[in-house]
Amino acid sequence: MRDLFYDLVKRNGMAVSIYLMVAVSLWVFLLIILPQLTMLDYSFRFNLPPGKIGGPEDVYTLDQYRYFFQGSGSSGGLNTLDIGILFKTLMSAVFVTVFDLLICYPVAFVLAKSSTGAKARLLVLALIVPYWINEILRAFAFRILFGSTGVINEVGMGLGLFDSPVDFIREDVALYAGLAYAYILLMIFPLYNAIESLDRNQIEAAQDMGANWWQVHSKVVIPYAKPGIASGMTMVFMLTAGALAAPQILGGPSNLWFTQLVYQWFNSGGNWPRGSAYAMILLVVCIALVLLTMRIFKVSIGEIKR
Amino acid sequence: MTFAGVGTFMTKEISLEHVWVEFGEFTAVQKANLNIAGGEFFSFLGPSGCGKTTLLRCISGFQEPTRGLVKIGGKDMKGVGPNKRPTALIFQNLALFPLRSVADNISFPLEVRGVDKKTRRKRADELLELIALPGQGDKKVSELSGGQKQRVAIARALAVEPDILLLDEPLSALDLKLRQHMRTELRAIQKQVGLTFIYITHDQGEALTMSDRIAVMNKGKIEQIGDGKTIYDHPSTSFVASFVGENNVLEGTVLTNDGKMMQIDAGLGTLFHVESHPAGGPALAPGDACQLFVRPEALKIAKSDNSLNQFETRFVTEEFEGNMRHIVLDAQGKKLKLSLINDGTHSIGASAPVKLDFAPALGIALKPGELASA
């Protein structure tokens, strides 16, 4: 820490260094660590009326976590509803992440290796422009698109693909499409960066030695782009699992996203400690899943930040 | 290094028939016509941007010619992808796979052909033995030195068992000593495996020392094809004369040409007598403008006062290169270079006029043409 500061001072001068240190510390501490610690603290407390906070009943408890596993029943049965929602949320997020990877990899590859200069920049711009529109607006646009009188149903019926309108909302198609679209750039750019730095000759050398296009990708490009793939997948997975707007707007009536549960406990439920406990559970499970996946695919965190 | 027992390499001849490559308005290769015999060490020599790499890519299959045919072993290669051609390419930057071990690099061609792991490893070990890196298969590529990487790239290319090995300036990244060593080594490998080598370079030293034949290229055109000695001693165009080796050039006019000897007036107060070289380039007729080339080592300090082709110059400066001394002289405003072996005896006065001459056989008169830029 001290060496780091001296190094900063040597490079940037005293004023800039102090500003950097203070700004970064404030950011990390005030905006990340402190709120999370507060949430953690909340999650281990009872939901008490304001008058009793700080009183003799305000003690640490595992009650909020117990509720997630066992529900309100004292019989010790499992809270299958909430656990099921968590499981479904995670599975859906994995599905959306893999789906994003599948559609982004070819795009990133073409961007990085086949198009040049101005053309690539134009393509990147075309990818970014839709994101100038607010996330909620985009979600509503998807709702209209997939609605029973939406463009997709109209066209589908016009072409005779199906007789009556398909309820894309109830079937969660709209939700998956909306989520997949919401974080697609976070997949494309890490992939693009990784593939872009791959020497073209490596691809040609592989071809020259007899590799077909599938082998070129599986043996040369994908191993090389693995850190980028891991970084893109981590971001998309984390954000999808933690998404609120898209599930709220595009989700079917019978399908809850785990974040919606958290939201309900905080908001209509008025139970902040339980909401905090649920948020913590989501965070820990997501991180564990990411670390486990990275271990399976032998990617280290150090590689990802490249 | 020995290559006995590496397996038998078939070797095939290559022919290019009227090959043109155009990129939009730009013509990268025009009307390339040549045959390369099986087992030949053939070099394409030319400045960067002359089209030699494009031509190599046509042979390896990464580039389809706009017009014309590429034939390998008599078979038209049109529509045959690089992974299906009997060629192996060694890239300028070698393009070894950094994430794979040395052995996995070498056995990559076998891996994509579905050869099982044990056989692959055995073959990789054999090839490592042969490039004098035994037992280094488990090393990372980054742990090797430049010369070792070079040899691994060759082993990887040989693992394909190609009929033709294509090399795209593979030595340009090495330092001088290693480069010279690898020249000898490459030539030895080629002799031992008997494979057709096609070598791309802008370095005339590499081309001259290694090749059986050389094609000199400029601006997409093959200017001359011949063995090293022919290219150097009897260039057929001004470009070849000025690009391969160093040359002094004098602008002049042909006065007489009897088919054996020409007389040329180069405005230096002397009628130069040079041999006609009917084999090299179009014949010059009296009255034609010409460029007269005399190599720095062909110029001599005149021993007598009345030798043939004698003319007067003034000393300008001297560049010392160890084994050679390059003396810059001025002949009526024209800068000429004279190279002398450093035997410790020469001394040229800075003030007195220097009389030079050259043998008629060593002057080359050619139709005026484009000169290689220095």
pLDDT, position B1: 37
Query: What number is the ipTM of this complex?
Result: 0.76
In chain A, which residue's Cα lies nearest the Cα of B113? A210
Cβ <8 Å between A208 and B112: no
Mind listing the domains of chain B with CATH numbers?
14-233 (3.40.50.300), 246-366 (2.40.50.100)
Question: Domains of chain A (ranges plus CATH)?
Answer: 1-43 (no CATH), 80-304 (1.10.3720.10)
Three-class SS of chain A: CHHHHHHHHHHHCHHHHHHHHHHHHHHHHHHHHHHHHHHHHHHCECCCCHHHCCCCCCCECCHHHHHHHHCCCCCCCCCHHHHHHHHHHHHHHHHHHHHHHHHHHHHHHHHHHHCCHHHHHHHHHHHHHHHHCCHHHHHHHHHHHHCCCCHHHHHHHHCCCCCCCCCCCCCCHHHHHHHHHHCHHHHHHHHHHHHHCCCHHHHHHHHHCCCCHHHHHHHHHHHHHHHHHHHHHHHHHHHHHCCCHHHHHHCCCCCCCHHHHHHHHHCCCCCHHHHHHHHHHHHHHHHHHHHHHHHHCCCCHHHHCC
Provide, as residue numbers in chain A, all residues whose Cβ is less than 8 Å from the Cβ of B81. 207
Note the pLDDT of residue B5: 46
Beta bridge partners, B14, equal: B36, B72
Nearest by CB: A211 against B83, B92, B157: B83
- Min distance A303 CA to chain B CA atoms (Å): 13
- In which residue are the tokens 């290019």 written? B16
* Subunit contact B108:A212, Cβ cutoff 8 A: no
Whole-angstrom CA distances from B298 to A99, A144, A295 are 72, 86, 70
Note the pLDDT tens digit of each residue in A262-287: 998 888 888 888 899 999 999 999 99
Q: For residue B159, list chain A residues with Cβ-Cβ distance below 8 A.
A: 209
| 3-state SS class at A225 | helix
Q: How far apart are CA B349 and CA B361, in angstroms?
A: 28
How far apart are alpha carbons B335 and B157 in whole angstroms? 47
Please tell me what DSSP assigns to residue B372. Answer: P
Minimum distance, in Å, between the CA of residue A282 and any CA atom of chain B: 35
Partner-chain contact B83 A204, CB within 8 Å: no
* Cα A186 from chain centre: 9
pLDDT for B2 equals 40
Report the pLDDT value the prediction gives residue A229, as an integer from 0 to 100: 92
CA distance B27 to chain A (A): 20
* pLDDT computed for residue A268 by the predictor: 86
Residues of chain B contacting residue A194, judged by C-beta atoms under 8 Å apart: none
Which of B54, B62, B83 should we substitute to test contact with A (largest number of A Cβ atoms within 10 Å)? B83
CB contact under 8 A, B91 and A211: no
Q: Which residues of B touch A (CB under 8 A)?
A: 60-62, 81-84, 87-89, 91-93, 95, 97, 99, 108-109, 111-113, 156-157, 159-160
Q: CA-CA distance, B22 to B43, in Å (whole number)?
A: 22
Q: How many CB pairs under 8 A join A and B?
A: 59
Amino acid in position B180:
Q
Q: Are A236 and A189 in contact (CB under 8 A)?
A: no
Measured between beta carbons, the chain B residues lying within 8 angstroms of A202 are: 95, 97
Q: How far is CA A19 from the centre of its chain?
A: 31
pLDDT at B3: 45
Cα(A104)–Cα(A189) distance, integer angstroms: 9
Residue B128, SS3 per DSSP: helix
Segment holding B217, helix H or strand E: strand B213-218
List, for chain B, all residue ranges whose pLDDT scores fall below the cut of 50.
Answer: 1-5
For chain A, which residues score pLDDT lower than 50?
Answer: 306
- Which amino acid, residue A188? I
Residue of A202, A210, A219 lying closest to B160 (CB–CB): A210
Mutate to test the interface with B, among A113, A204, A209 (most CBs of B within 10 A): A209
CB A269 within 8 A of CB A202: no
Shortest CA distance from A205: residue in chain B: B95
| CB within 8 Å of B63: residues ≥ 6 apart | B21, B54, B57
State the Cα–Cα distance between residues A105 and B271, nearest whole angstrom. 72
- Tell me the chain A residues in contact with residue B120 when contact means C-beta distances shorter than 8 Å: none
What are A's interface residues with B at a Cβ cutoff of 8 A?
A: 199, 201-202, 204-212, 215, 219-220, 223-224
> Do residue B112 and residue A223 have CB atoms under 8 angstroms apart?
no
